[in-house]
Chain A
C-alpha cells in the first residue's frame, strides 16, 4: 500500500476539500517510521500544491498497532503501511501523451 498513491487518488476523485489524514505517532508507529512517513507526505502534499485540500494531523495511539504504521485517511483506516514504499506510476498509465509532431 502506497500512501502517496492514496493521496493522489483521493485528490482525483473527491469532491469536497480538506479530508483529515491522521498519522498515528504512538510509540509503536513511531518506531516503525511514522515520523519519516509524516515528513514525506507533508513534502508531497506541498509539491502537489494540495495543502488546502488535504490536512495532515498527528494523533496518539488508537490501539490499531500492527506490524506496520497505521494512518487514517479520510474516514478510512489503513494499516500495514510501509513508509519506505515507493510512489507508483499508476496515475500516468492511461493518460494520453503528446507524440512527437507527426505528419498528418
Chain B
C-alpha cells in the first residue's frame, strides 16, 4: 500500500471479497496475490472503496493520533470545522462546537464557511472576468480536482485557480494565529487528507480529522455537546454555511442557476460530473460555470458521513443550521474590492 495515499487496508479485517474493486469508478483498485491495492496514479480519492466495506477493511488515513500528539505537545491547535457537523451532533449554534473543541484542548475553532464565502465570491469574479475559460469549472471539490488532473487534463484551463474553502480558511487562521499554529480540518471528506499535502497548498492545514471520529474522541474524553441557550452576540446568517450541499457554492457566488438562465450548471455524483466533463470536451456544453461535486447530493453523502445516518437527514439538518444566525460573522460582500 502506498503510504502517501489516502486509504489503507486493515489486514486483520481484510476478507478476500473484492468488494472495493467493483465500486471504483476509475478502476484504481487492483488485486495482486489475493491482496487489494490502490493504484495512486488512477485513484481520485473519492472514497467509494471505503463506503463499500462494511467491515471497514479500507480505512481513511486517520490523523486523530497526530492531533492528540500536537495537543499534548502544547501546540497552538486551531480547527476549521466544515458546516456538516450538525448532521452528527445536536448542534444549533457553532458556539457548542467551539466549546467542545476547546475542552479537548484546541485553542480555537472557526467555521470553514468563512472560506466558502470568499471562495464563492472569488468564483463569481473569476467567471465574470474570464469569458475565455468558460465554462469555468469550480475547484472546491478535491475529488473533481483529482479527476481533472488525471483524466481530463485538457480541461484544466477551465478550472478556476481558486483554493478550496478549507485552504482559504486555513490561510486566514494562520494570519490570525501565526505561522506556528497547528491547523486541523474537521470534515467528512477522504480526499482532504490528500489535498492538504498537495504541493501548491502544503503546510497550510496540518491534519484532517474525519467528522465521524469526533464522537468517539468525545466519548473517550467523557465530553458531550451542551445545549446552547445564549443568543449569539453578533449573529449573521449566511448561505455559505450550506456549502456542502449540492449547489452550495452557488449561494455565496450569487450565480444564477434557474433552469431557464442556463449560465450556471450544477451537478453532483461522479458519473454525472463525468458526463458534464465529456460534454465540455466535445464543446457541446455552453455555460459560464459548472459546479461539480463528486459525492451525490454534495458532501453530505461523503464517505465520512456514513455514521451520521441517512443523507436525507443531513440534507435537512445542514441547511437548517445554515438558516440560523451564528455567532461568528462571515466576511461580507460590501467591503470587497469590486472593479
Contact = CB atoms under 8 A, between A and B. Distances in A.
B171 A12 contact: yes
B257 interface: no
Nearest to A76: B129
A98 B79 CA distance: 12
Contacts of B103: 104
Contacts of A17: 200
Given A14-B162, A14-B163, A15-B162, A94 B335 contact: no
Contact of B336 (A9, A11, A95): A9
B139 interface: yes
A96 B109 contact: yes
14 contacts: A1-B337, A2-B337, A5-B335, A9-B337, A11-B171, A12-B168, A13-B162, A14-B161, A15-B163, A75-B130, A90-B332, A94-B110, A95-B176, A96-B328
Interface of A: 1-3, 5-6, 8-9, 11-17, 75-79, 88, 90-98, 104
Nearest to A16: B161
A16 B332 CA distance: 24
Contact of A5 (B109, B175, B337, B339): B337
Nearest to A11: B171
Interface residues of B, number: 40
A6 B122 CA distance: 11
Interface in B322-339: 328-332, 335-339
Interface string B110-137: 1100110111001001000110000000
Given A9-B118, A16-B161, A95-B110, A77 B176 contact: no
B173 A15 contact: no
A48 B335 CA distance: 20
Contacts of A77: 339
Secondary structure of the A contact surface, majority rule: loop
Interface string B136-177: 000100000000000000000000011100011001110110
Contacts of B108: 96-98
A13 B331 CA distance: 13
B98 interface: yes
Contacts of A13: 118-119, 122, 162-163, 168
Interface in B153-207: 161-163, 167-168, 171-173, 175-176, 200-201
Nearest to A75: B129
A14 B168 CA distance: 8
A27 to B, nearest CB: 23
Nearest to B78: A96
* Interface core residue of B110, B168, B337 (most chain A CB under 10 Å): B337
